[in-house]
């Protein structure tokens, strides 16, 4: 069994920055206590527990939005995650008198700003994203004039009677699936302004998998909640490889031994040491 680690892998710039911001806040004795994270800083359990050990309390509950989870925070500091936040959440945090630290990724902020600008100009927005993902949730909370598309067939349900349509997307989607969705939207609304915003870190990782040759299995090390990690698995499948998402080496089973050439990579929110641990286990299998 041959195992090759694919480049690039590991933390993207937005994730590195978010982790550093949270650590700086906890190391700074002047930061108002308690320190809360509104939702997981990034989608990785190891990182969340490392931050917990630094005294940072993560508020995360399935089926509750960040706007709702903010009700649980009455004092101290709130850190916004790398996925970005809506203006409603920002204003609510301000009105509660909380100290705000924003770890939103710059790429996410650019898209958010563009959406607000086009809304201001009277556009209807078509947003391609994953329902309930925090990045998507933050955009949708801005206006009722934003139409979520999660898959190609959703486009049939769109009924927009407006000449001005701006189309954009979540940063961590599959480049292949998103292109298909954009093409279908363009066919339905030829005058729409299409603004594909899959981030560079996501594109580079997906392209590396698409260009890889001679592998029968791609193992992606990443959290089951990590959108970009799940998309890497889908991209591997489209390049005729089986794929497997593992959170840690504990998820490796003997079934893997039936593969001869394994490509190993990780999502943008996976610590390097977790990838290395999976690699060492594979080599020893
Ligand atoms: S995956 Fe892209 S958008 Fe998300 S945090 Fe990383 S650089 Fe930012």
Task: Tell whether ligand 1 has an atom less than 6 A from the beta carbon of residue 109.
Answer: no
Taking the CA of residue 108 as reference, the ligand 1 atom at the shortest distance is 3
Model pTM? Answer: 0.95
pLDDT at 236: 98
C-beta of 129 in contact with ligand 1 (< 6 A): no
Please check whether residue 202 lies inside any domain of the structure: no
d(CA 12, CA 222): 13
State pLDDT tens for residues 172-221. 999 999 999 999 999 999 999 999 999 999 999 999 999 999 999 999 99
Residues 219 and 246 in one domain: yes
Cβ of 201 closer than 6 Å to ligand 1, yes or no, is yes
Confirm whether 199 is domain-assigned.
Answer: no
- Measured between alpha carbons, how far is 37 from 19 in angstroms, rounded to an integer? 11
Pick the residue whose CA is nearest to atom 5 on ligand 1.
Answer: 14
Are residues 80 and 127 part of one domain? no
Domain span at 222: 2-10+207-284
Domain termination site, one of 171, 194, 217 = 194
What is the Cα–Cα distance from 271 to 281, expressed in whole angstroms?
Answer: 16
pLDDT of 125: 98
Query: Are 62 and 88 in the same domain?
Result: yes
Residues 19 and 88 in one domain: yes
Task: Give the domain CATH number at 137.
Answer: 3.40.1010.20
Per-residue pLDDT, 284? 94
Residue where one domain finishes, among candidates 105, 125, 148: 105
Domain CATH number, residue 58: 3.40.50.11270
The residue from 49, 83, 105 where one domain ends is: 105
Question: Does 25 sit in the ligand 1 pocket, CB within 6 Å?
Answer: no
Same domain, 97 and 161: no
What pLDDT shows up at residue 231?
A: 96
Count of domains for the chain: 3
pLDDT of residue 281: 97
Residue 147: strand, helix, or coil: strand
Closest to 228 in 3D by CA, of 78, 46, 8, 5:
8
| Same domain assignment for residues 111 and 97 | no
Q: Which atom of ligand 1 is nearest to the CA of 200?
A: 2
pLDDT-derived band at 241, boundaries 50, 70, 90? very high
**pLDDT the model gives residue 60:** 96
From atom 7 of ligand 1, which residue's Cα is the shortest distance away? Answer: 14
Instruction: Kindly state whether residue 77 falls inside one of the protein's structural domains.
Output: yes
- Pairing of β 146-149 and β 165-169: unpaired
Distance in angstroms (rounded) separating the CA atoms of residues 200 and 109: 14
Give tens-digit pLDDT for 71-130.
Answer: 999 999 999 999 999 999 999 999 999 999 999 999 999 999 999 999 999 999 999 999
The mean pLDDT of 22-42, rounded to a whole number, is: 97
The sheet with strand 217-221 has its strands ordered as 2-5, 261-266, 217-221, 242-246
What confidence category does residue 249 fall into, taking pLDDT thresholds of 50, 70 and 90?
very high
- Asked if residue 200 belongs to a domain, the reply is no
Provide mean pLDDT across the span 215-235: 96
For 50, 78, 144, 158, the CA distances from 127, given in Å and listed in that order, are: 33, 27, 12, 12
The number of beta carbons lying within 10 Å of the beta carbon of residue 239 is 17
pLDDT, averaged across the chain:
97
Nearest to 54 by CA among 75, 84, 33: 33
φ, ψ of residue 8 to 5 degrees: the values are -80, 160
């Amino acid at each position: 069994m041959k195992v090759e680690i694919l480049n690039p892998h590991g933390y993207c710039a937005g994730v590195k920055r978010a982790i550093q911001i949270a650590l700086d806040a906890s190391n700074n004795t002047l930061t108002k206590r308690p320190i809360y994270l509104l939702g997981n800083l990034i989608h990785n359990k190891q990182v969340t527990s490392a931050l917990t050990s630094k005294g940072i309390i993560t508020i995360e509950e399935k089926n509750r939005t960040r706007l709702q989870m903010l009700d649980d925070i009455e004092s101290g500091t709130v850190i916004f995650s790398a996925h970005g936040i809506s203006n409603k959440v920002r204003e609510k945090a301000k009105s509660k008198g909380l100290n705000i630290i924003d770890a939103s990724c710059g790429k996410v902020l650019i898209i958010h700003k563009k959406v607000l600008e086009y809304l201001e100009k009277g556009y209807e927005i078509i947003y391609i994203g994953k329902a309930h993902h925090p990045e998507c949730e933050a955009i949708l909370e801005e206006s009722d004039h934003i139409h979520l598309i999660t898959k190609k067939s959703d486009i049939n349900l769109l009924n927009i009677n407006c000449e001005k349509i701006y189309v954009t997307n979540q940063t961590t989607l599959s480049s292949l699936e998103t292109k298909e969705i954009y093409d279908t939207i363009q066919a339905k609304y030829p005058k729409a302004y299409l603004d594909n915003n899959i981030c560079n870190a996501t594109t580079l990782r997906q392209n590396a998998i698409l260009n890889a040759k001679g592998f029968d299995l791609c193992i992606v090390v990443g959290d089951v909640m990590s959108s970009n990690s799940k998309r890497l698995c889908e991209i591997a499948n489209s390049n005729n490889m089986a794929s497997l998402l593992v959170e840690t080496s504990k998820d490796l089973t003997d079934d893997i031994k039936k593969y001869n050439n394994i490509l190993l990579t990780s999502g943008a929110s996976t610590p390097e040491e977790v990838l290395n641990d999976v690699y060492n286990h594979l080599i020893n299998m």
